[in-house]
Structure 1
Amino acid sequence: MAKDFYGELQLGILGGGQLGRMLIQEAINYNVNVHVLDPDKNAPCRKLCNKFECGSLSDFETVYNFGKDLDLITIEIEKVNVDALEKLEEEGVVVYPQSRIIRLIQDKGLQKQFFKQNDIPTSAFQLISTKDNLKNPALSLPYIQKLRKDGYDGKGVKKIVTEADIQDAFEEPSLIEEWVDFEKEIAVIVARNDRGDVSTFPMVEMEFNPQANLVEFLIAPSLYGVEIQQRAEAIAKKIADDLQIVGLLAVEMFLTKNGDILVNELAPRPHNSGHQTIEGNYVSQFAQHLRAIFNLPLGDTRCRTNAVMINLLGENGYEGLAKYDGVEEVLAMEGVYLHLYGKKYTKPFRKMGHVCIINDDRDKAISNARKVQEILKVKA
């Protein structure tokens, strides 16, 4: 950036959740002044930033007024007012990722069309405007229905297995996509700075909670063959270059049982599939995002060791003031690192923190992680 930011740059983050919290923890090392906007007065970022503002992320005036005196704005959530960001860009405020990319990724239908137009491998799909379009769909059952907008963390997704399921389908504009018989869900995080430098983190393998459809268990690095890993990383780099994004981009993919790689969704920000990089890699995803948006040289993404990340979710059946059971027991184990998100209240499947388990022995890292899953619980 033109401005010497060490101690001077005014950085705004739209969203004050755990991603913003971990981004601030890294930004402190750069002496930048961090401003945060979030609708929750008790947001996890509220006590870590230089200035916290409670307000709507979707309101034009709120977002515009928040950003007009800042040098650079980034996001930790895509559901923000893009019209305000476009106006801020016109007035000289730098927005990374760029507003046009946020607009694209806010709409899963536009995402799928982007994949098709740029020869990015993805599952077959059809855009629909109402549930009535499912009476004669282009795809045969079973398929997945996704709301075009506002879906996140497994919300806004329905499995349509039989014709009887159609009566409970979403009424709003959505897309249906082919049911992929995948072997594993994988992800690659890629970073790109304004110079055009591009760097990927090693591919990771993910397991999802079947009830909440949230990442529950992540293993890095992947043990799949070099050819598969290189293909996945090449796809992520191509998407970053096609978008000309500045910042971090998480590319979630399916590895099918016949060896194909299909892109599922994108997230233009730090992502759940990169939390293990804090302890497991030479540079974390949060440091890499800052390097990218500050147009600095990108960091060394190699893995230091084997890392397993567990999402710490609120236990089913508990809601209220959060209580953490088993903290001392898991912290007595070798290579266990706890990250709590500063959320006062828990509810079923709410992301309350994560745990990273590292070990030079991959099997030991996995077995220790399974023990942590059994012991550490968030209740009320």
Structure 2
Amino acid sequence: MSVTVPGPTLGVVGGGQLGRMLAEAAAPLGVEVIVLDPTPDCPAAPVARDHIIGEFDDPDAVSDLAARVNAMTFEIELADADLLSDAISTFDVTVNPAPSTLAMIEDKLIQKRTLDDAGIPVPSFRPVDTVSELTTALDIFDAVMLKARTGGYDGRGNVPVTDPANAADALEAVGGSAMAERLIDFTRELSVIAVKGDETVRTFPPGENIHDEEILRETIVPARTSEEVRNRANAVARDVLETLDGRGVFGIELFETEAGDILVNEIAPRPHNSGHWTIEGAHSSQFEQHIRAVLGWPLGSTARRSPTVMTNILGTVDNSRPAALTGIEPALTDEHISLHWYGKDEVRPLRKMGHLTLSDDTISITDPSTDPDSLTIQSLIERARQCREAVAFIQTPPESS
């Protein structure tokens, strides 16, 4: 294909921090971005060419977006797969990843069944709609992670269950129709950011993810595991891509078991929080790769530049209120740390407000699995944590009318 710059206009359903970083990555490529999001002044609005204010399932808003762009994608699973399919047939526009892939992934039970049918290793699972079915699942698996079939993210919609006495409350908490998945006693959580282009598939090096309260706190690259396990994770990720239609970046979350096996936890059909390290830590970021892929352009390199640690900045204030971030001087002083602020108007507990990335090419890590607590990798982790722990939120006065 022939690529010219300035390039096409890309429509993005969703204007959160992922939409913001997509627009930032698109600008150097000569690609303009229009976002659709229900929130006025959403994080992507300041960096996108335009912002259509509308719900993700609003047919008029989606049609308005489709009529103004050359290609479409999405940065949130709340995008409506049927409306995206309609856009393809009604307007001269491409949509990637394919709406059928979105529809499959957004239902966690269908997602797991699709992977299982393809022979991809996943934890054992069962559909659960009643207390009796959940109790049966507990009899079989002993302990389960109960997952809402749709709508869950960042730990929302996930409830661990070990006691049948808690079955009714757990099922109510996830909203009824759910999937019970065997609770895995994993060694570590990994993820692979995989890219599916027109004829090319590429994967970034696996990252090691550290969660707390089901929220991602840190991603460490290279993952502190053996080269064999990292290769196995990449191979599984490539197998996953074979089950997915359309082009783009996919965040593939994995469990590493004590035996070194890899199980697929979940798939995100978009750039992923655990791939933010690629902005500074890889030759091309997951966001640039997503732009290239959905437009059908040649893909960039996914090679790692240097050892990297990404740590999320999460809201710590009570309730939801306007606030500003202070204590960023240590991060700004460290010449290897980059600060990313998402521009959200209000802070609330555990809301992702930004992240810090420490990418240091002055140190060498040949195989972190041989000494995972070595000073080199541990020093990166500690430096990133110190800078993260130095920041704090202060309430800002409301704007005068």
Is the TM value for this pair above 0.5?
A: yes
Aligned residue identity for 1:204:
G
**SS of alignment partner, residue 105 of structure 1:** helix
- Checking the alignment, whether the CA contact within 8 Å between 2:317 and 2:347 is kept in structure 1 is no
- Secondary structure of the equivalent of 2:104? helix
Amino acid at match of 2:66: G
Which structure 2 residues correspond to residues 63-212 of structure 1 after superposition, within 5 A?
63-91=62-90, 92-137=92-137, 139-171=140-172, 172-194=176-198, 196-210=199-213
Amino acid aligned to 1:312: I
Contact 1:251 1:263 in 2 (8 A): yes
Tell me by how many angstroms 1:32 deviates: 2.0
* In 2, Cα distance between equivalents of 1:376 and 1:239: 38
**Most deviating of 61-70 and 307-316:** 61-70
Q: Secondary structure at the residue paired with 2:313?
A: strand
User: 1:347-376 CA distances to partner (integer Å, 9 max, x unpaired)?
Assistant: 100100000012224332112012113212
Matched AA of 2:166:
D
Say which of 343, 366, 373 aligns to 2:381. Answer: 366
Preserved contact between residue 312 and residue 377 of structure 1 (Cα < 8 Å): no
Per mean C-alpha deviation after superposition, the further-off stretch among 223-232 and 270-279 is 223-232
Q: State how far apart, in whole Å, the 1-side matches of 2:145 and 2:11 are.
A: 36
User: Structure 2: how far apart are the matches of 1:81 and 1:244?
Assistant: 16
Residue-by-residue CA offset, 1:62-98 (whole Å, 9 max, x unaligned) = 2233213421001110111111111111233200111
> Matched residues in 2 for 1:370 and 1:41: separation?
33
Identity %: 36
Counterpart residue number, 2:228: 227
SS class of match (2:140) = coil
| C-alpha contact 2:34 2:50 (8 A) present in aligned 1 | yes
Secondary structure of 2:123 counterpart: coil
Contact kept, 8 Å, 1:325 with 1:377, in 2: the verdict is yes
CA-based RMSD of the aligned residues comes to 1.6
Cα offset, 1:151, TM superposition? 0.4
Q: Structure 1, residues 184-243: CA drift from partner, whole Å, max 9, x if none?
A: 00000110112x200000001010123xx1100110111311111111001111111232
TM-fit CA distance, 1:290: 1.2
Q: CA deviation at 1:316?
A: 4.7
Alpha-carbon distance between aligned partners in 1 of 2:9 and 2:327, rounded to the nearest angstrom: 40
Per mean C-alpha deviation after superposition, the further-off stretch among 131-140 and 352-361 is 131-140
State the alpha-carbon separation in 1 of the partners of residues 116 and 320 from structure 2: 43
Asked if structure 2 preserves the Cα contact closer than 8 Å seen for 1:313 and 1:378, the reply is no
- The residue that corresponds to 2:369 in the other structure is none
- The answer to whether the 8 Å contact 2:252/2:267 transfers is yes
Q: Given the alignment of the two structures, is residue 375 of structure 1 paired with residue 371 of structure 2, yes or no?
A: no
Distance 1:8 1:357 in 2: 32
Structure 1 segment 1-380 matched on structure 2, within 5 A: 6-91=5-90, 92-137=92-137, 139-171=140-172, 172-194=176-198, 196-210=199-213, 213-317=214-318, 319-359=320-360, 360=363, 361-380=376-395
1:89-111 deviations in whole A, cap 9, x for unaligned? 12332001110001111100110
Per-residue deviation at 1:8? 4.7
Contact 1:183 1:255 in 2 (8 A): yes
SS in 2 for 1:104: helix
Q: Please give the secondary structure, in 2, of the residue aligned with 1:186.
A: strand
Extract unaligned runs of 5+ from structure 2: 364-375, 396-401
Total equivalences in the alignment:
376
> 3-state DSSP class of the match of 2:84?
helix
Give distance in 2, aligned partners of 1:275 and 1:139.
Answer: 38
CA contact (8 A) 1:325 1:379 kept: yes
Residues 140/237 of structure 1: CA separation in 2 closer, same or farther (3 Å cut): closer
TM-score (norm 1): 0.95
Q: Is the 8 A contact 2:63 2:87 kept in 1?
A: yes
Q: What's the secondary structure of 1:23's corresponding residue?
A: helix
Output the CA distance in 1 between the equivalents of 2:263 and 2:73.
28
Superposition deviation, residue 129 in structure 1: 2.6
Aligned AA for 1:119?
G
Q: What is the Cα deviation at residue 341 of structure 1?
A: 0.2
- Contact persistence 1:314–1:379 (CA under 8 A): no
Rounded to whole Å, the distance in 1 between the matches of 2:127 and 2:72 is: 32
Of the structure 1 ranges 323-332 and 79-88, higher mean CA displacement relative to structure 2 is found in: 323-332
Q: Distance in 2 between matches of 1:30 and 1:140?
A: 49
Q: Which runs of 4+ in 1 moved over 4 A?
A: none
Measure, in 2, the Cα distance between the counterparts of 1:100 and 1:319. Answer: 36
Q: Distance in 2 between matches of 1:246 and 1:237?
A: 13
- The farther-off stretch of 99-108 and 58-67 is 58-67
Kindly indicate whether the alpha-carbon contact (under 8 Å) linking 1:128 and 1:174 is maintained by their aligned counterparts in 2.
yes
Equivalent-residue separation in structure 2 for 1:223 and 1:299 (angstroms): 25
Q: Distance in 2 between matches of 1:308 and 1:166?
A: 38
CA separation in 2, counterparts of 1:58 and 1:139?
Answer: 38
Question: Deviation at 1:132?
Answer: 4.1
Q: TM-score of the superposition, structure 2-length normalised? A: 0.90
